Amino acid sequence: MKFIKWIRLAPDIIIGRKIGKLRIFPITTKIVLIYILFILLSNFSSHYISLMLYRGEMVKLTRQLLARDLKDIYNYANTQHEIFSVRNNLEESRRLISERAVLDFKHRMSLLLGVERSGDINIMSSLTGITGRFTDSGTLATITENLDKGETEGFISFFLQGKKYFGVYKFNKNWNLFFIRAEEFTEFNEDSNRIFKKISIVIVAITLACAVAGIFIIDYLLRFIRHITNSIMRMIRKNSIELIDMKGSQADDVTFMGMAFNALSDTINTMISIFQKFTNRDIVLKAYAEKKVKLEGSKRELTCLFSDIKSFTNMTEVLGTDIINLLNLHYTRVIKIILQHDGIIGSIIGDALLVVYGVIGDEPEKRKSYNAVLTGYRIHEVTAEIRSEMMAIKEKILSERGSFTPQEERVFKAVLIEVGVGIDGGDVFYGNIGSYERMTNTVIGDTVNSSSRMEGLNRIYKAPIICSEYIRDDITMSVPGHGLEFLELDMVKVKGKEEGKRVFWPVLTSEINPQMRKDMKIYSAALKLYYKGDWKEAHKLFSSCSLPPAEVFVHRTKEKKSPKNWNGIWTMDSK
């Protein structure tokens, strides 16, 4: 099975994988190719050197054989000269000498020449039919000079009709000729060249076979390099840093490299984890993609949720430093919900929490306001759960002790957290501000202030969530089947603003029972009368409505008469 697996992986192992337009060439193949180069160079060099030495020895041996052949021809030529002296038949003697020489030839290009001092070839014995003059004047001059010095024989190399020859010569006084017995270099080297080619083919074949085997052997030995590389490439595709599984690795440098990467990965993950705890997810993702965090921002249409803990000043006075533990308990659960609904933390200031929607998530532009409203209701559920847990603790203590001290009663009331939620949306500045030494992610704009004012209205209208007309329109147009009904609460002008603004209570349709449906209709009808200035009739309807927001209107319209120049807008004197 491993062999079949290797066969399937052979292309990747040998030539590597292609990632985009770039091929990742395996280090095992590089190592083997380098070794192939050196092995071939070493083998060919040593074989070539051996060949040259072999040829040198063969030339020496051949010269000795040629000298022996020349000696026989020389003696035979002297005999023929004696016969020539008797018969006086020059051509017959030349023919016989030539035919005798051929008997010693072992190659097609073998030669026997009888060369005059002038260069004319007097006797020619060759299987190729070479004729003409001895054209290598340099060699002829050398052997002639040697003869003048008394040297009648020796070894020579010469060119004849474009071919190089080597051989021996001996001057014959009877014939007054230089007898030359020679072999052509190329023909002489044919056998050794043929052997060299065959051996070279064998060397290449064996080297290639060993190279393929070497690739798989080295790849097995260095298999964890491929494992490390594949793991890193997977991390790049996922934009994540993970630990590499080094199970089964050997104690070598590759394993040490993997362990070093895991140590680095663990450090980076720790830093990212810390970074994520202090920075919003969108900033973390962008910083990871761009490899840096920039001071930049842009104008964007977002939704802001503002949550505040009621009676926080009293809670701080009663609980002291223990307020931190209570806040952490509250925020641990609340922030988890916020992140689940694609919200990002704009800021946490004591009991106040600013959340921004529309930056991340699935279709953030369309679902930003809807996610904010759902988050608001889940925040109320979380605080209700905390209150329920505190009540269970109180009941347990009372069952054991029977009563609370006054101080304990104050503490118990202080830990019963209640929150208000305000939501508004619109154009804001969202981005990083500060300096490259210290920066923070923030959201700035009138929408932020407006969401804070919306939350402040909770104390007046006693609705769990109050939102603006923008939120109602955004959800109605962008989220079909949203499951919400928007009860208009009032038209108010908050402190610091010049214009009135309609505010709404986004009611979950699933929470509306028949009585609440009836009260909502009464409230809406009363509010229309209130806007028109018919406070007397509005007072009657508000008095018959059991919704919490109706209480403020019952108190407000008890005069039964609207103020002078009434325009339906109630001005708030406080935040």
Structural domains in the chain plus CATH codes: 300-468 (3.30.70.1230), 480-575 (no CATH)
pLDDT score of 575: 57
Choose among 363, 337, 374: nearest CA to 467.
Answer: 374
CA atoms within 13 A on the CB side of 150: 0
Q: What is the tens place of the pLDDT at every residue in 4-45?
A: 555 555 555 555 555 556 555 566 666 767 777 777 777 777
- For residues 535 and 561, is the Cβ–Cβ distance under 8 A? yes
Handedness of CA 186, 190, 192, 197 (dihedral sign): positive
Choose among 372, 468, 370, 386: nearest CA to 419.
Answer: 386
CA 8 to chain centroid: 24
DSSP-H helix ranges across 341-415: 364-401, 406-415
Q: Which tokens in the block code for residue 504? A: 């709404």
CA atoms within 13 A on the CB side of 264: 8
Classify 343 as helix, strand or coil.
strand
pLDDT score of 510: 93
- For residues 492 and 519, is the Cβ–Cβ distance under 8 A? no
Q: For the chain, what's the residue count?
A: 575
Q: What ranges make up the beta strands (E) of 435-569?
A: 439-444, 465-468, 484-493, 501-508
User: If you write DSSP's letter for every residue of 9-61 in order, what string do you get?
Assistant: HHHHHHH-EEETTEEE--HHHHHHHHHHHHHHHHHHHHHHHHHHHHHHHHHHH
pLDDT in 10s for each residue of the chain, 575 residues = 555 555 555 555 555 555 556 555 566 666 767 777 777 777 777 777 877 777 677 777 777 888 888 888 888 888 888 888 888 888 888 888 888 888 888 888 888 888 888 888 888 888 776 667 888 889 989 999 998 898 999 998 989 888 888 889 999 998 899 998 888 888 877 777 777 788 878 877 887 777 777 767 766 666 666 677 777 777 767 666 777 777 766 666 666 676 777 777 777 777 766 666 656 665 566 555 555 566 667 788 999 999 998 887 777 877 788 888 888 888 889 999 999 999 988 888 888 899 999 988 888 889 999 999 999 999 999 999 988 888 888 888 888 777 777 887 787 777 788 899 999 999 998 877 767 666 677 788 888 889 999 998 998 999 999 999 999 999 999 999 999 999 999 999 877 677 889 999 999 999 999 999 999 999 999 999 999 999 999 999 999 999 999 999 999 998 878 888 888 888 877 65
Give CA–CA dist 262/228, Å, rounded. 10
- For residues 176 and 116, is the Cβ–Cβ distance under 8 A? yes
Q: Which tokens in the block code for residue 277? A: 């705890």
Sequence letter at residue 211 = A
Give CA–CA dist 266/179, Å, rounded. 90
CA 20 to chain centroid: 11
pLDDT score of 356: 93
What is the signed CA dihedral for 237, 243, 246, 247, rounded to 10 degrees? -110
Torsions phi, psi for 256 (to 5 deg): -60, -40
Give CA–CA dist 255/248, Å, rounded. 10
0.85 exceeded by pTM: no
Classify 485 as helix, strand or coil.
strand
- For residues 350 and 379, is the Cβ–Cβ distance under 8 A? no
Torsions phi, psi for 462 (to 5 deg): 55, 30
Give CA–CA dist 441/359, Å, rounded. 13
Give CA–CA dist 383/333, Å, rounded. 9
Classify 548 as helix, strand or coil.
coil
Classify 172 as helix, strand or coil.
strand
- For residues 275 and 284, is the Cβ–Cβ distance under 8 A? yes
Give CA–CA dist 368/478, Å, rounded. 9
Residues whose CB is less than 8 angstroms from the CB of residue 440 and which lie 6 or more positions away in sequence, other chains included: 432, 433, 434
Classify 508 as helix, strand or coil.
strand
Give CA–CA dist 63/168, Å, rounded. 7
Give CA–CA dist 339/378, Å, rounded. 12
pLDDT score of 486: 96
In terms of DSSP bridges, do strands 177-184 and 111-115 run parallel, antiparallel, or are they unpaired? antiparallel
